[in-house]
Amino acid sequence: MKMLSFANRNAKEILRDPLTLLFGLGFPLILLLLLSAIQASIPVPLFEIEKLTPGIVVFGLSFMTLFSGSLIAKDRSSSLLQRLYTTPLTPLDFILGYTLPILPFAVVQGAVCYVVAMLLGLKLTPNLLLAIVFIIPISLLYVALGLLFGSILNDKQVGGICGALLTNLSAWLSGTWFDLELVGGVFKNIAYALPFVHAVEVERAVLSGELSAALPHLLWVLGYSLVSLAAAVLLFLRQMKRQ
């Protein structure tokens, strides 16, 4: 109950920020429409709707880091957290309160991308519904990164690092915009050592009904999610104690 009150407040703060709708939903949809238009003129296998949409969905999730990180950093700078630390809320309440409101938003965002993709030719199958479910573990990774960055950076730094750097890194290293095989070498190795391309591969494999192919990529994503979450919790608790 106490945690839910806090989570409810966080959900309202995020949803009432117009930038949330603009970047969280609008930007990925614009990219989906734009790249589909390019695909219609100059067909490229990478931009086929079945391959493109999972990449756009994961790209959209990278904004969850920006939303959660900004909210925490703003709360820290405004003394609101200081006030809440003196209430009966426990450290677990804070972690869950910042994490839970993002998950439904991430699922809705991904679902809207898939619905728009259906208008562009993606077929409605049970696999598509499963792909929406698999957004949850992937979004956990991005929320954990937001919790982590929000605990150590101020809101301007979060804007720069999560809003510019992470979204771009997540996009370039995801195999959505260009085929990583074409670049190859160190770039490809770095990309496959990070979770972003694996997140896209999970969605692509689930969407095409190849669950066994999704599993190794899912393990990469879950591994990074757990490590990020553990680091985020430690850093959040550290800044809590520093109050």
Partner 1 sequence: MLAIQTNNLTKRYGDIAAVDGLSLSVEEGELFALLGVNGAGKTTTIKMLSCLTAPSDGDAFLHGQSICKNPERIKPIIAVSPQETAIAPGLSVYENLELICGVYGFSHEKKNMKIKELTDLLGLDAIMKRKAGKLSGGWQRRLSIAMALISEPKILFLDEPTLGLDVIARSELWDIIRSLKGKITVILTTHYMEEAEALSDRIGIMRDGKLLVCDTAEGVKRTAGSDSFEEAFIRIVKGVKA
Residues in touch with partner 1 (CB under 8 A): 1-2, 4-6, 8-9, 12-13, 16-17, 78-80, 82-89, 241-243
Give 15 or 29: the residue with its C-beta nearer to partner 1: 15
| Number of neighbours of residue 128 by Cβ within 10 angstroms | 20
Q: Whole-number minimum distance, CB 218 to partner 1, in Å?
A: 35
Toward partner 1, which CB reaches closer, 82 or 189? 82
| Nearest distance from C-beta of residue 111 to partner 1, angstroms | 25
Amino acid at 193: A
CA separation for the pair 186, 243 (Å, rounded)? 42
Residue closer to partner 1 by CB (options 29, 84) is 84
How far is Cα 116 from Cα 27, in angstroms, rounded to an integer?
13
Please list the alpha-helical segments (H only) found in 120-195. 126-133, 135-152, 155-158, 167-172, 180-183, 185-193
Burial class of residue 92 (count of CB atoms within 10 Å of its CB; 0-12, 13-18, 19+): exposed
Contact between 66 and 159 (Cβ < 8 Å)? yes
Q: How far apart are CA 36 and CA 24, in angstroms?
A: 19
Least distance CB 71 / partner 1 (angstroms): 9
Residue number, 16 or 186, with CB nearest to partner 1: 16
For partner 1, which is the closer residue by CB, 78 or 125?
78
Phi and psi at residue 86, in whole multiples of 5°? -90, 0
User: Residue 38 or 80: which CB sits closer to partner 1?
Assistant: 80
CB-CB contact of 101 with 84 (8 Å): no
State in angstroms the smallest separation of the CB of 3 from partner 1: 9
In angstroms, what is the minimal distance from the CB of 20 to partner 1?
11
The least distance separating partner 1 from the CB of residue 84, rounded to whole angstroms, comes to: 7
